[in-house]
Amino acid sequence: MKLKKLFLVMSALTTAGLLTACGGGGGSSASTANTTTSIGKIDGFGSIYVNGVKYDTSHASYYVDDESASDDSALGVGMKVKVVGSVDSSGKNGTAESIYYDDDLEGPIDAGSLVVSGDTTTFTILGMSVSADANSTIFDDGASYSGLAEGQEIEVSGFFDGSQIVASRIELQSDSDHDYEVKGTVTQYDGMTITLELKNGSIAGPYDISSSVDIDSDLPSDPVGTYVEIELVDNAGNNEVVRIEPDDDDLIDDSDDDHDAEIRGILMGNDVDGYTVNDIPVVFNDPVDPQLIGTEVEVEGHMVDGTLIVHEVEREDGEIEIKALVTEVTSDGDPKNGSITLDLGNGETLTFTTDNSTSFEDSSSYDSSSDGDGSFTLNELNVDDYVEVELSANGSDYYAHSIEREDSDPSTPLVIEAPVDSADATTITLLGIVFTHSTTTPPSAGEKVKATDAGYDGDIDTIVIDSSSS
């Protein structure tokens, strides 16, 4: 198991060695200081943005679903990708040498598995568990959160959290595509059938193997214990295996060793067994904040023997969500770096900043009538556009983790999901702004609520308390 390697690495590296690996000074790491491996989801286009870096892709090689591709048009916002290239000293701009993408799961939603709970829906595909979020999962090519249904054939990209794939992107399979894909460790193989243990512990199979199966030349003659991807086709109601190939369960391979690395994913583990992000073993120099466990983070450091020696960790989600009309847009010269001001009703506004790490998604009709890439820039955002943003607060300053442009009409309401500053029988204070309300039982300070102001008049029409914050 990879986790055992964590403690071998820790005992083998001296403090000086850690500083060399993390800082890029001296030793073998100096010669490769400019080579970076970055694993994360695509946050925007104009080249591509991954993990806060704008990568020039003009000379990049693309590998999409095991096939060569020609340009960014083969990619989409929310796809989990691996980018190998270089990053400048500012940490904001890079040059991509190669970009890799392979969906994590592909197939029909299993019958009886779909469970909807507010803004979260869980289901399985071929036995593999998936979680989709109405606010953070990107839906494309005809897929939608409300349209998820048993039997629907979809492709999923995302981060494994120890029990399920937390979907960063879901798209519908085309009507002509009835090939399915699932990944796992081979537990049984006899040339006629194959069985996998999936990451969530479920057993997939045994599946019949087609007589014309395409077996990758790198697959061992006895693949039991090998992590693989299998491709299946529906043959008269029976899923039959038509391709078997070894696969990386974490997108990292030997060629990434001695690279600087930026990895985004779900932080899992503990002090005893060690930690992983996106299934990649990570070692921290400082104690880990328990509140980060199970959350999406970005870790930066240096790869040593398949393990990331971390020198920086940052949480990648926020606790504030707002749906509102835009009143002002400012760019500092870069198409993703600047600020946006929202109308919070009754003359009140809120301004937040955006940068290369902010995910820009365009699900409005503007996108389909222009470039159709599912993203936008500050230069394309207009006053009175309706957006949904996820924010973090640092005092009175706000930063956007994600922003999605949506279509709106005159009846589109202001919606604020945030912790309550204070409340009494007639007023509620959210984000430092005092609103009136007529709710029979006002929430308590610290509780997170979803407040709706249909008229943008400073009077809250409905308040729903998030039970998980109570």
At residue 35, the pLDDT reads 84
Q: What is the pLDDT of residue 21?
A: 35
b/e map 118-153, b = 16+ CB within 10 Å: eebbebbbbbbbbbbeeebbbbbeebebeebeeebb
Q: Are residues 324 and 310 in the same domain?
A: no
13 and 95 both lie in a single domain? yes
Distance of CA 134 to the CA centre of its chain: 13
pLDDT of residue 368: 66
Whether residues 267 and 280 share a domain: the answer is yes
User: Which is it for strands 179-189 and 433-437: parallel, antiparallel or unpaired?
Assistant: unpaired
Residues 111 and 199 in one domain: no
Same domain, 367 and 337: yes
Count of structural domains, the chain: 5
Calculate Rg over the CA atoms of the chain. Answer: 23
pLDDT of residue 468: 57
Q: Pick the closest to residue 368 from 140, 147, 170, 143 (CA basis).
A: 140
CB atoms within 10 A of CB 93: 16
Both 95 and 10 in one domain: the answer is: yes
What are the distances in angstroms from CA 27 to CA 16, 31, 306? 11, 8, 18
Give the chain's residues under pLDDT 50: 1-33, 470
Q: What is the largest CA-CA distance in the chain?
A: 73
N-to-C CA span, the chain? 39
Q: Are residues 300 and 335 in the same domain?
A: no
- Quick one: 400 and 440 in the same domain? no
Indicate the residue among 315, 337, 367 that finishes a domain.
315
Structure tokens at 25: 């000074």
Boundary residue ending a domain (406, 429, 457): 406
Give long-range contacts, CB 8 A cutoff, 24+ apart: 402-405: 402/43, 402/136, 402/358, 402/359, 402/360, 402/361, 403/340, 403/354, 403/358, 403/359, 403/360, 403/361, 404/361, 404/362, 404/363, 405/361, 405/362, 405/363, 405/364, 405/366, 405/367, 405/376, 405/381
Q: Are residues 385 and 421 in the same domain?
A: no
Q: How far apart are CA 361 and CA 350, in angstroms?
A: 20
For 389, the domain range is: 320-406
Which of 138, 154, 172 is the C-terminal boundary of a domain? 172
Provide the CATH number for the domain around residue 114. 2.40.50.140
**The pTM is what?**
0.79
**What's the DSSP call for residue 3?**
H
How much is the pLDDT for 14? 35
d(CA 207, CA 23): 49
**Which 3 state secondary structure label does DSSP give 209?**
strand
- Whether residues 257 and 215 share a domain: the answer is no
| Confidence (pLDDT) at 175 | 63
The whole-number pLDDT of residue 467 equals 64
Grouping H, G, I as helix, E, B as strand and the rest as coil, residue 366 is helix
Q: Are residues 11 and 93 in the same domain?
A: yes
pLDDT for the residue 176: 67
What was the pLDDT predicted at 28?
34
> How many angstroms separate the CA atoms of 338 and 204, rounded?
47
Domain co-membership, 8 together with 95? yes
